[in-house]
Amino acid sequence: MYEDAKVMFLLCTQDFPTAFSYLNLGRALYHLGSIDEAEKVLGIANMMDTSLALTWGYLTMVLLRK
């Protein structure tokens, strides 16, 4: 499930680079265990829109796992 989401949102970030697409790519990476990649992607999402609370939440979980 998360592998499919990773592929889908990777395509979305290429065609429609929005904070939402980066957030969801980061979520998929987090759940797949790619913590360093998830941190990088979630950081991009956070720079694009600092008001997304879900981005902050996933960044917190990433840093806790590190």
Span 19-57, pLDDT tens digits: 999 999 999 999 999 999 999 999 999 999 999 999 999
The residue with greater pLDDT, 1 or 34, is 34
Give me the number of domains the chain comprises.
1
Domain that holds residue 33: 2-65
Amino acid at 6: K
pLDDT of residue 66: 87
Neighbours of 29 (CB within 10 A): 25
What global pTM score does this model have? 0.92
Calculate Rg over the CA atoms of the chain: 11
pLDDT of residue 1: 87
In angstroms, the first-to-last Cα distance of the chain is 24
pLDDT of residue 26: 97
